[in-house]
Amino acid sequence: MLEKLNRLLEAYRADGAVGASLAFSLGDGDTITVTSGLADRATGAPVTPDRLFKIGSCTKTFVAAALMKLVEDGKAELDAPISSWFPDLPRSGEVTVLQLVNHRGGLPEFEYDIPMDPSRSWTPAQLVELAFGVGGQTAPGGPAVYNNTGYVLAGMLIEAASGLTLGEYVRRKVLEPLGLKDTWSPATESFPEARMVRGYYHRPKPATGASSALAEGGEMWRMDGVLPYSDALQDSSDSFPYSGAYGCGDMVATPSDLVGFMKGLFDGRLLPAPLLVTMKDGRTKVSYPGTRLRETGAGLIASEYAGRLVLGHQGSIPGYVTVMEHDPVSRLTIAMTSNAGSGNRLSFYASGIHPVVDRAIGIILQEI
């Protein structure tokens, strides 16, 4: 099996990927990691199991779990409005704490408008202000529409209720109880930067008259002035400050830690059963065209891989793509990270990881 997984990652690299790291655990088995390719093209340093990757929106699952720990400790109520925390926020009396993390808060979005300015340092409040300046708000409790602003507010709420930075709270309440030592929140805590892989970005020039819709190849992020159009991969490691992602996407980790987190979550070692049910069940369809995301809970999204409906998250941030999933039927937990990405979802560098995860699941479960 490991030989097949090694060949799979080598084929992914031959298709154009720079580096990849894949970890998995089946049932109560040990976590196994397979790596391939380069952590740094300039130096030729290889990807090794201890190398850190930016995990983008997989951060959301950690933050949602942290919010549940706050609820478990009696410091917040999921059904309570957020007005006591954010009295000046429009419609805060209608948005509930739970809706901050289940994409049903009707909050405006900022991801497609935030400038990729590596020199800027953002505060969470500035991210929320940007969202309300560029996006439209809708009635809370409506259809689920993928939203980053809710997770920024969730992080701010956790900080206000706990008196800790978001990174420190996640560390104390999520990482340390599960014995995870290779995950950090760089927006609010220091981390071993020397272990980070470099990230590489594909920014193809759009064809004349091409659609700007994300599902049809429109560019997700504002890279003008940061990286030019090019068919060649460009180093994007420092193109976006961690503070611009905060509670919706700032974290870095190894795939083995992602597997450890998901196993601990689904094995019931982190949360009481009712709060885990809140995260994973009662899902609604989510609107995120051009992805495999199908239904959202609170920090856990149902996606289709290898013909199975699995629970977890995906993450993209300039130069990096991550997938972490758990199959409740087989109890396979798998995570894969890549250090090449694109804001164009039609690019191999944005989407090529997903069929690799399909095949990896099949190899592990011996179905192909």
pLDDT confidence band for 78 (50 / 70 / 90): very high
pLDDT at 208: 79
In this structure, the strands spanning 183-184 and 252-253 are antiparallel
Residue 368 has pLDDT above 60, yes or no: no
Q: How far is CA 331 from CA 192, 310, 328, 334, 352, in A?
A: 32, 10, 5, 10, 24
CB count in 10 Å sphere of residue 126: 17
The amino acid sitting at 36 is: S
CB count in 10 Å sphere of residue 368: 10
Contact criterion met (CB below 8 Å) for 11 and 351: no
Contact criterion met (CB below 8 Å) for 320 and 195: no
- Write the pLDDT tens digit of every residue in 257-275: 999 999 999 999 999 999 9
pLDDT at 299: 97
Q: How far is CA 273 from CA 72, 163, 265, in A?
A: 11, 26, 10
Q: What is the mean pLDDT of the chain?
A: 94
- Domains present along the chain, CATH in parentheses: 2-205+219-364 (3.40.710.10)
Residue 367 has pLDDT above 60, yes or no: no
Residue 8 has pLDDT above 80, yes or no: yes
Mean pLDDT is lowest, of 71-75, 121-125, 224-228, 286-290, for 286-290
Q: Which two tokens stand for residue 319?
A: 């130069």
The pTM for the full model equals: 0.96
pLDDT at 88: 95
The phi and psi torsions of 174 (rounded to 5 degrees) equal -120, -55
pLDDT at 215: 66
Does residue 227 sit in helix, strand or coil?
coil
- Max Cα-Cα span within the chain: 57
